[in-house]
Structure 1
Amino acid sequence: MEWYRDTFIISDDRDRVDVAVVVRLLHQQTYWARDIPPEAIHRAIEKSLCFSILEGDSLIGFARFITDYAVFGYLEDVIIDADFRGQGLGQWLLDCMLAHPTISSLKKLMLATKDAHSLYEKCGFASPTRPEWIMERYNTGAFRKNSA
């Protein structure tokens, strides 16, 4: 699917994802993905429902859902290039993603973020009503080189 606004396009076509640009944006403009190796980002993109914001053929924004395509979706890696922020593109990206037939049919969506809470709240996200039901396991050594 594609959505259009002014000179921008949002596409769910994985072939339009410029992985090198996504890696650069995630490494240079986020706090959460700086240590993730490019090959892991590439693999994550291959296994996700991806959305790109393009100006012409240039990728200027990206986000993805990890989903089972039936019940649950996890929003991940929402990024707009710093040169294009302040134009409402993040809100538009989220609106398009949430309207996508696959995502709009899911029972539960989640995300984790330390910032931009007001952006996500505008899209219906809220703090968990039962945070005591949520657990996580974090592997701090996930991207360390094996030393044999």
Structure 2
Amino acid sequence: MEKLRITTEPAELDIPLIHRFLSEESAWARGIPLATVEKSIRHSLNFGLFAGAAQVAYARVITDYSTFAYLVDVFVLAEHRGKGYSAELMAAVMEHPNLQGLRRFMLATSTAHGLYAKFGFAAPSRPQALMERYAPNAYVAGA
């Protein structure tokens, strides 16, 4: 097994890889512009998981570091799935010192409920209190 390393240093992230995955392979950010990815990285707490020298997984947390966090853009490259990397990445996120004591930590997923449940995530206790403003075509030219 290759040596794993997780970093939160934006300068160490493989931004072209992150952009390529999000814009071409993800279901949630298809077509996202590189400039938008770069800006989102600058304004978030990022987690890059490396196997050897190569980045193979990523997660991003939008947070005020005090009361609220929102987990987004979590992925493991297809050829590296099934090796426990998503659990390693989530453990690092949940153990990060700046993410302790938050009142609310949220995420949205359509496929990984089992993974996130292992880290204490559940359906909202009061879904009737949640609202969203959703623009599914935000990255489509002319939308």
Q: TM-score, normalised by structure 1?
A: 0.89
Mapped partners of 1:33, 1:144: distance in 2: 10
Q: Which residue of 2 aligns with 1:81?
A: 77
Equivalent positions of 1:44-123 (< 5 A) are 44-123=40-119
- Residue 29 of structure 2 aligns to a residue in which SS? coil
1:145: how far off? 4.5
Relative to structure 1, is the Cα distance of residues 78 and 141 closer, same or farther in structure 2, using a 3 angstrom cutoff?
closer
Question: What root-mean-square deviation, in Å, do the aligned CA atoms of Structure 1 and Structure 2 show?
Answer: 1.8
State the Cα deviation string for residues 92-118 of structure 1 (Å, max 9, x = none): 100111000011232210001111100
Identity score, percent? 37
1:141: how far off? 5.3
State the Cα deviation string for residues 31-69 of structure 1 (Å, max 9, x = none): 111121111111101110000011233211100100011
Q: TM-score, normalised by structure 2?
A: 0.92
Q: Which residue of 2 aligns with 1:24?
A: 20
Structure 1 window deviating more from structure 2 (137-146 vs 91-100): it is 137-146
Mapped partners of 2:20, 2:107: distance in 1: 22
The question of whether the paired residues in 2 share the 8 Å contact of 1:26 and 1:77 is answered with: yes
- Deviation above 2 Å: which 4+ runs of structure 1? 139-147
Structure 1 unaligned runs (5+)?
A: none
The question of whether the paired residues in 2 share the 8 Å contact of 1:27 and 1:34 is answered with: yes
Aligned residues: 143
